[in-house]
Structure 1
């Protein structure tokens, strides 16, 4: 048995080469699989239960893929719908699908895999010893679980296979591992287990495993001894280097990858160039183990207001960190004097963009920028409080002098008002695994017709 999986892009909403997609369709894939999200951009999407990608971009690309599915006559599947895979984003993706189906005059069977976890279910699992921390992981309790806005479990191939087994034209998955949607069909059809998982890992980000990462589209052929990967864009090549290097991507161990029910071991993998475009991989192994699924959760950790100013006077650019430290100390005193607040009632942070805005104290590069952006971040228990502190610090961020014996400086606010209320701040609050006797026991599957 062999299985051909077409992967249009690393994620829906990022774009792909339409000509390459057409070329892939011409090779008659057995399934079209694409990812819908990840935790790459931080906890906001999971905390809020919203997609980070624009609705317009998502709809445009999904419409193209729905038309491609109709042309190929094969299932179309998306994993981690709406960036985070919460129930709300699965429903968002389902509504888009129904809308497009109506516009195109399609009648489709759609399966939805829901992966969100009720807090009370996890409280019972915690008390039963079925939840284990990974490293690192925060301490959790029943109250901590109940305080989280959204919790999802990462499904594997078993949950995806159950959705495909419904005969659905389109499968919309909540949070699943990046590899699950690609490996599910090859494994169900009896292809080599190590190859299925390894090929899925290589293909998870589309053409990132090629010499032209932005082209998006790749094809993976799975069989009983290995897999072959080829980029579909004319300008993209898969080489042993580009393919093998992807095991390093988002993976702490370049030789092992843990998934629900075991782990992939690629220490024996051999990468062979079949020609300038294609790479053949054999020798990967799948090691079965206890069936666990990873848990991801987010909770509100306060509310934020930001303020942005720009230092351009050379005296201040040169001494930006000294100025920011003095300003921070002064404002801490002012907030105490005028509002009666002290940390941890709030936090105030200044990041110097152009100096150490990304790495803070870990920055080891030096240089002299023309200007330095000063980003002030206020975090407090309510938006009203964060906003009030933002207004209090506003005039000092605009005029505060470096020394007492110089003229009062004026810095630049790039927009007005200078402060922006960002709303709730979310943080990740789970890095644990949940043991399951039945892979479907923590997941829900719904099948319906649209169009």
Structure 2
């Protein structure tokens, strides 16, 4: 093939997109549809619990549109990081939907699943062999940390996806993968140069985010031997040199370099040229193969149980003296927890966040005038749910009536819910930010190719 056209309908499966934009992508000659389905952006809960962030109805809706499009055009569909975190349960969750949709629609497509969840014994063996290395600011990994994780996934590059495509898969459902690998696998398999391919994959990873109207539609990238051209699929959106180049700033440490398992994308000398008022041509991208292929690990473990309480303050005097109010809260709360529960602070932790004042920026907040209202969120974490809730209940009267030290009356604040305390269950933390030196690019991943059942 002299060129490969990659259709990226949205930044995340389940986020939604217009049917018309996918139809336009097919009319423009798309050769493959790629879509990401996961992220660590929403924190460690989804990996730790092995549950998806997105609702099944939204994912199934998007899948139905894309499966129909892939079958109509006779092109492959590649989905990465299934189920948000790419756990085996996430892959199975999406695969079950795909199987049901193919049956309901009467579509006869081969489906490959690629599982990326890692066994503790494998990781500990690689650790003993000196093949696991920390990424800053993580520390050296130990076996106890591996054992503490509820789930660990390896972030695959393009190689397992390419292997599944070469085996004849019409639909590839991958576990945890780099966002770019999902879009890069098919063009690389078809012989497109690595530099333009990886750069194009980076630009299309979030669908329309590289356009002037990121809320609508996706994009189509046409990759050839000299570079790539990118255009929006929504007629009211446009790609500009700035909107395209700016996406290299997104989620990267260095705006000119980005590491993949197989090597490093280098766009330092890339050029961005407007072909017209909607399309951009990019040339000069390079890809440097690494001496050692690596796979990044993501792992999460339970760090305690959490109970949340939320109240609102609109009393002008408290708002003008919110720091004094907070100091008094801290003092009385810790004293009463010690008196009533016998806890000295080592058995629980708490966080008081003042939304409308400094909860987002903290000490970086530039505003100096008193806010009109503040939402106060209390998060209490302990080794058990019962203990976290007991401590949160100690704070209940303070979050309802605590005055500032100079007030001679009890104010009335406003709880957002009844009961005021909401048990959030287990709370997870990320504990792995390490890479594994691989012996082959696919050794850490398990590929299964099968025919989906079709409508009778």
TM class by smaller structure: over 0.9
Pairs aligned (count): 451
Equivalent-residue separation in structure 1 for 2:391 and 2:328 (angstroms): 17
Determine whether 1:397 maps to 2:402. no
Q: Which residue of 1 aligns with 2:272?
A: 271
Q: Deviations over 1:118-173 (max 9, x none)?
A: 11111111111000111111443101101101111110011110111121121100
Q: Deviations over 1:181-219 (max 9, x none)?
A: 111111111111100010101111111111111113110
TM-score between the two structures when normalised by the length of structure 2: 0.97
Q: Which residue of 1 aligns with 2:156?
A: 155
Equivalent-residue separation in structure 1 for 2:209 and 2:159 (angstroms): 26
Q: Which residue of 1 aligns with 2:359?
A: 357
Q: Which residue of 2 aligns with 1:180?
A: 181
Equivalent-residue separation in structure 2 for 1:71 and 1:375 (angstroms): 50
Q: Which residue of 1 aligns with 2:418?
A: 416
Equivalent-residue separation in structure 2 for 1:195 and 1:159 (angstroms): 20
Question: Is the Cα contact below 8 Å between 1:191 and 1:225 reproduced in 2?
Answer: no
Q: Secondary structure at the match of 1:214?
A: coil
Matches within 5 A, 1:289-438: 289=290, 290-403=292-405, 406-438=408-440
Q: Which residue of 1 aligns with 2:44?
A: 43
Q: Secondary structure at the match of 1:384?
A: helix
Q: Which residue of 2 aligns with 1:253?
A: 254
Q: Deviations over 1:212-231 (max 9, x none)?
A: 11113110111111111111
Q: Deviations over 1:347-396 (max 9, x none)?
A: 12211110011133332323332211111110001111111111222122
Equivalent-residue separation in structure 1 for 2:404 and 2:383 (angstroms): 31
Q: Secondary structure at the match of 1:123?
A: helix
Matches within 5 A, 1:162-177: 162-177=163-178
Q: Secondary structure at the match of 1:310?
A: strand
Equivalent-residue separation in structure 1 for 2:153 and 2:358 (angstroms): 34
Equivalent-residue separation in structure 1 for 2:94 and 2:407 (angstroms): 61
Equivalent-residue separation in structure 2 for 1:235 and 1:344 (angstroms): 57
Equivalent-residue separation in structure 1 for 2:250 and 2:181 (angstroms): 16
Question: Is the Cα contact below 8 Å between 1:353 and 1:373 reproduced in 2?
Answer: yes
TM-score between the two structures when normalised by the length of structure 1: 0.98
Q: Secondary structure at the match of 1:213?
A: coil
Runs of 4+ in 1 over 3 A off after TM superposition: none
Question: Is the Cα contact below 8 Å between 2:31 and 2:76 reproduced in 1?
Answer: yes
Q: Which residue of 2 aligns with 1:88?
A: 89
Question: Is the Cα contact below 8 Å between 2:133 and 2:141 reproduced in 1?
Answer: no
Q: Deviations over 1:315-358 (max 9, x none)?
A: 11211222122111111011111111122210122111100111
Q: Secondary structure at the match of 1:307?
A: strand
Equivalent-residue separation in structure 2 for 1:138 and 1:426 (angstroms): 19
Matches within 5 A, 1:188-199: 188-199=189-200
Q: Deviations over 1:87-144 (max 9, x none)?
A: 1100100011112122212232110011111111111111110001111114431011
Q: Deviations over 1:394-448 (max 9, x none)?
A: 1221112212661122211122011100011111101111000111111100112
Equivalent-residue separation in structure 1 for 2:19 and 2:342 (angstroms): 59
Q: Secondary structure at the match of 1:215?
A: coil
Equivalent-residue separation in structure 2 for 1:398 and 1:113 (angstroms): 52
Q: Secondary structure at the match of 2:408?
A: coil
Q: Deviations over 1:245-298 (max 9, x none)?
A: 111111110100100111011111111111111111111111011100111111
Question: Is the Cα contact below 8 Å between 2:198 and 2:265 reproduced in 1?
Answer: yes
Q: Deviations over 1:47-85 (max 9, x none)?
A: 111110111111111111111111111111101111111
Runs of at least 5 residues in structure 1 that lack an aligned partner in the other structure: none
Residues 216, 374 of structure 1: alpha-carbon distance in 2 compared, 3 angstrom cutoff: same
Q: Which residue of 1 aligns with 2:220?
A: 219
